[in-house]
């Protein structure tokens, strides 16, 4: 399984069927908190549903369409990060993520998105552009691309149906040239 060590205590590790039990527990114990912003909670009722999702991500990986990682913090599964298929023709992709509520506030997701871009999107895969979409009122999620220097491209109106209502999406993007510039500046400061 592929892995990326982020800090002494945090690690990205490719999701595998053996993670299904812990991932389902994390989902099930965070159901109402996650349901506010994610559309798939009602389709995840049993460990087998989580295992099916993990197998889907493994197929995605085999088809060269991106990888889903579990985010591990001090040996516990804290959340996940992955991409929604890669558009190889236009050299771009979109990142999606979530954390259990108890793992918020530690910079885990900001670090995970940054590591994902450093190791895969702009390096191994050589893509030109990455996007992150979040509901306009999902301020914690929007803060992640904002913290990492993404640009706000605009708002997609009534873009997602969440159980009983539509939400608008803010669309953020980062280009390869911008990512290189951020790294160049970081190096100068080191
Ligand atoms: C979106 C979500 C992942 C954001 O989680 P988060 O903990 O706010 O994000 P991070 O892990 O990057 O942590 C950032 C927080 O840690 C703090 N932090 C501590 N150390 C940090 C570090 N080294 N780097 C960055 N931030 C750090 C930041 O100040 C920030 O806290 P604040 O909001 O109180 O200022 C989480 O709220 C979530 O999963 N929500 C439900 C599902 C969801 O909305 N998914 C996204 C759909 S688009």
Find the CATH number of the domain harbouring 101.
3.40.630.30
From ligand 1's centre to the CA of 103, what distance in Å?
A: 9
Among the listed residues 16, 15, 19, 12, the one whose alpha carbon sits nearest the alpha carbon of residue 119: 12
Using CA positions, which residue lies closest to atom 35 of ligand 1?
105
Confidence of residue 118 (pLDDT cuts 50, 70, 90): very high
Closest ligand 1 atom, residue 98 Cα:
39
Decide: helix, strand or coil at residue 88: coil
Residue 131 Cβ < 6 Å to ligand 1: no
- Is the Cβ–Cβ distance between 94 and 134 less than 8 Å? no
Structural domain containing residue 93: 3-189
135-154 per-position pLDDT tens digit:
999 999 999 999 999 999 99
23-69: per-residue pLDDT in tens? 999 999 999 999 999 999 999 999 999 999 999 999 999 999 999 99
Tell me which of 105, 150, 172, 186 to substitute to probe ligand 1's pocket, judged by most ligand atoms within 8 Å of the beta carbon: 105
In angstroms, the CA 170 to CA 134 distance is 5
Mutation choice for ligand 1 from 107, 138, 139, 162, CB with most ligand atoms inside 8 A: 107
Closest among 79, 65, 136 to 113, alpha carbons compared? 79
Give the N- to C-terminal CA distance of the chain in Å, as an integer.
32
Mean pLDDT, residues 108-120 taken together: 96
Q: What pLDDT, on a 0 to 100 scale, did the predictor assign at position 145? A: 98
What's residue 190's pLDDT? 84
Ligand 1 near 34 CB (within 6 A) = yes
CA–centroid distance, residue 99 to ligand 1 (Å): 8
Element (H, E) at 175: strand 165-175
- Structural domain count, the chain: 1
Please check the confidence at residue 1 and state whether its pLDDT lies above 80. no
**Mean predicted confidence (pLDDT) in 69-80:** 98
């Amino acid at each position: 399984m592929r892995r990326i060590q982020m800090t002494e205590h945090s690690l990205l590790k490719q999701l595998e069927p053996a993670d299904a039990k812990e991932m389902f527990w994390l989902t099930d114990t965070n159901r109402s908190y996650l349901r506010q912003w994610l559309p798939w909670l009602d389709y995840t009722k049993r460990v087998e549903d989580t295992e099916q999702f993990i197998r889907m991500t493994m197929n995605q990986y085999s088809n060269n369409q991106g990888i889903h990682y579990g985010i591990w913090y001090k040996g516990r599964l804290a959340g996940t990060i992955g991409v929604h298929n890669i558009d190889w023709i236009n050299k771009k992709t979109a990142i999606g993520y979530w954390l259990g509520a108890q793992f918020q506030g530690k910079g885990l997701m900001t670090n995970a998105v940054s590591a994902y871009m450093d190791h895969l999107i702009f390096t191994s895969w050589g893509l030109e552009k990455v996007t992150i979409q979040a509901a306009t009122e999902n301020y914690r999620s929007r803060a992640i691309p904002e913290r990492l220097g993404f640009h706000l491209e605009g708002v997609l109106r009534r873009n997602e149906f969440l159980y009983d209502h539509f939400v608008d999406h803010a669309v953020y993007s980062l280009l390869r040239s911008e990512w290189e510039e951020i790294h160049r500046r970081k190096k100068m400061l080191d």
